[in-house]
């Protein structure tokens, strides 16, 4: 991990702040080397839509290796996995026919509202998806659960302390402490530094008693705070048998200044982790499981299970006609339990595309995701909800999945539109290789 990543983080934040404020021209100190953002970049940011990762075309060797791996996984070493459209259609027809016969025999179970299991590990095989995963481009390429990323971010920041102590300490304060404590600490440290800058001849502002209640409750309790003060020029000295931090200009880190550190402290933010779509391509037989893992919920599995029981009892006790307002309140109470939504898109050939979204992401981001997976990315298409509503363009694109009630799971039907209606190819060939056996 290059130490420059810390400085680049602040350079980027400063550039974004100037862009939002409409400030042109060169910045000072933290972003003196940062080029001004282009208008094109500005407009793309304002769209706030999902930008799919670049996918390189598979080589013939990579395809052969993938086919061989799939064949071994399925126990079919002598038969290469066929990813042609005809083979996919044949497999889908076979599964759809089996599903139809099962329905006629009355053996298929209806989809139920996802209910978390307290024994999460035991129920993992029944989940529609293994969990919710994230990426952190600033630190690495791994795809991990959020809690694991928090641990890696903390480890990364402490590794950078020796190279960029002041700037890194600002990020440690904000990323390695509870948000409320971090904000109080930053506010207090800001006042300390501002007092020295604005009153360079006042000695009282250059001395901090470490046993002071304010110091203990607002500064010392936060990780990174003492590292920040040392980078800002404070050194620990004992006066009158009590530990103090005494400021001296000679102690400031040579590559920093109080102004730079103050600006960095105010600009400190959580290092961003990006929701990974956890893209999957599924056959019809693989989309029956509809239970969601605990990561999808805002509250604990125990609380959700208790709420489910109370709701069932209420329905049994009050078999009455519900008003529209009552139905809407119940619907909101249900969807408010979720942080994420599992989106599935069913293509005419029976194959499903699956991805994970935050409930507050816009429908346009779902379209961006689907478009990035199509063999014909420029083709016009629409997504049709289970209720028959067609989404293609218009104001719905700027509405969130939460507002559109597309939570916690939804299956869209895919259809080509206008001049693209005659197309028969759907997902990219390399994505068809993601079809797995469970």
Q: Which residues pair with 345 in a beta bridge?
A: 353, 412
pLDDT value of position 243: 93
Mean pLDDT over the full length of the chain = 77
Strands 242-247 and 207-209: antiparallel
pLDDT over 80 (residue 62): no
What CA–CA distance (Å, rounded) separates 165 from 230?
9
pLDDT value of position 177: 95
Of 52-66, 174-188, 272-286, 378-392, the least confident: 52-66
Domains of the chain, start order? 134-274 (1.20.58.2190), 335-434 (3.10.20.90)
pLDDT value of position 59: 57
pLDDT value of position 103: 65
422 vs 5, higher pLDDT: 422
pLDDT over 50 (residue 237): yes
As a whole number, mean pLDDT of residues 155-183 equals 92
Q: What is the DSSP letter of 375?
A: S
Is the link from the previous residue into 200 a cis peptide, with omega within 30 of 0? no
What CA–CA distance (Å, rounded) separates 32 from 10?
11
Contact of 384 with 425, CB cutoff 8 Å? no
% of the chain surpassing 90 pLDDT:
43
pLDDT value of position 80: 42
pLDDT value of position 337: 83
pLDDT value of position 327: 60
pLDDT value of position 118: 47
Encode pLDDT of 359-415 as tens digits.
999 999 999 999 999 999 999 999 999 888 999 878 889 999 999 989 889 999 999
As a whole number, mean pLDDT of residues 49-59 equals 50
What CA–CA distance (Å, rounded) separates 173 from 181?
9
Q: What angle do CA 30, 32, 34 make, to 5 degrees?
A: 95
What CA–CA distance (Å, rounded) separates 358 from 342?
9
Sorting pLDDT into bands at 50, 70 and 90, what band is 304?
low
pLDDT over 80 (residue 147): yes
Residue 397 CB contacts under 8 Å (≥ 6 apart), including other chains? 362, 363, 364, 367, 391
Of 10-14, 60-64, 233-237, the least confident: 60-64
Contact of 129 with 139, CB cutoff 8 Å? no
Strands 234-239 and 381-384: unpaired
Q: What is the DSSP letter of 330?
A: H
Sorting pLDDT into bands at 50, 70 and 90, what band is 298?
confident
Sorting pLDDT into bands at 50, 70 and 90, what band is 128?
confident
- Backbone dihedral angles phi then psi of residue 256, each to the nearest 5 degrees: -125, 175
pLDDT value of position 136: 94
As a whole number, mean pLDDT of residues 89-100 equals 65
Encode pLDDT of 312-346 as tens digits.
656 555 555 566 665 666 666 667 888 999 999 99
pLDDT over 60 (residue 161): yes
pLDDT value of position 288: 67
Sorting pLDDT into bands at 50, 70 and 90, what band is 287?
confident
pTM for this predicted structure: 0.67
What CA–CA distance (Å, rounded) separates 4 from 154?
17
């Amino acid at each position: 991990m290059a130490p420059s990543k810390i400085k680049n983080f602040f350079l980027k934040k400063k550039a974004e702040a100037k862009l939002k404020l409409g400030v042109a021209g060169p910045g000072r100190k933290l972003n003196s080397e940062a080029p001004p953002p282009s208008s094109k970049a500005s407009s793309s940011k304002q769209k706030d839509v999902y930008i799919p990762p670049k996918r390189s075309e598979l080589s013939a060797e990579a395809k052969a290796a993938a086919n061989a791996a799939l064949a071994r996984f399925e126990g079919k070493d002598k038969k290469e996995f066929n990813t042609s459209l005809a083979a996919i259609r044949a497999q889908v027809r076979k599964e759809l026919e089996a599903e139809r016969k099962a329905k006629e025999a009355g053996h298929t179970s209806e989809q139920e509202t996802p209910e978390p299991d307290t024994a999460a590990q035991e129920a993992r095989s029944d989940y529609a998806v293994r969990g919710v995963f994230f990426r952190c481009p600033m630190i690495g390429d791994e795809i991990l659960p959020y809690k694991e990323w928090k641990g890696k971010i903390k480890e990364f920041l402490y590794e950078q302390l020796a190279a960029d102590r002041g700037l890194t300490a600002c990020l440690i304060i904000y990323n390695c402490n509870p948000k409320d404590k971090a904000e109080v600490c930053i506010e207090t440290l800001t006042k300390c530094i501002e007092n020295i800058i604005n009153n360079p001849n006042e000695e009282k502002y250059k001395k901090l008693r470490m046993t002071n209640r304010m110091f203990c409750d607002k500064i010392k309790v936060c990780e990174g705070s003492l590292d920040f003060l040392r980078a800002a020029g404070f050194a620990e000295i004992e006066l009158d048998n009590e530990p103090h931090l005494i400021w001296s200009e000679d102690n400031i880190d040579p590559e920093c200044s109080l102004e730079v550190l103050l600006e960095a402290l105010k600009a400190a933010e959580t290092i961003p982790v990006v929701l990974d779509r956890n893209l999957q391509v599924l056959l019809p037989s693989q989309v029956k499981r509809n239970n969601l893992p605990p990561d999808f919920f805002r509250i604990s599995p125990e609380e959700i299970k208790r709420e489910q029981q109370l709701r069932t009892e209420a329905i049994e006790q009050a078999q009455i006609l519900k008003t529209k307002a009552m139905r809407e309140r119940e619907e909101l109470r249900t969807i408010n339990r979720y942080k994420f939504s599992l989106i599935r898109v069913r293509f005419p050939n029976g194959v499903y595309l699956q991805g994970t979204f935050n409930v507050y992401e816009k429908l346009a981001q779902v379209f961006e995701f689907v478009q990035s997976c199509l063999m014909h990315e420029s083709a016009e298409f629409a997504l049709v909800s289970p209720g028959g509503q067609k989404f293609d363009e218009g104001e719905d694109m700027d509405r969130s999945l939460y507002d559109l009630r597309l939570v916690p799971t939804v299956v869209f039907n895919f259809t080509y539109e206008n001049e693209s209606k005659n197309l028969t190819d759907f997902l990219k060939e390399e994505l068809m290789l993601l079809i797995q056996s469970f």
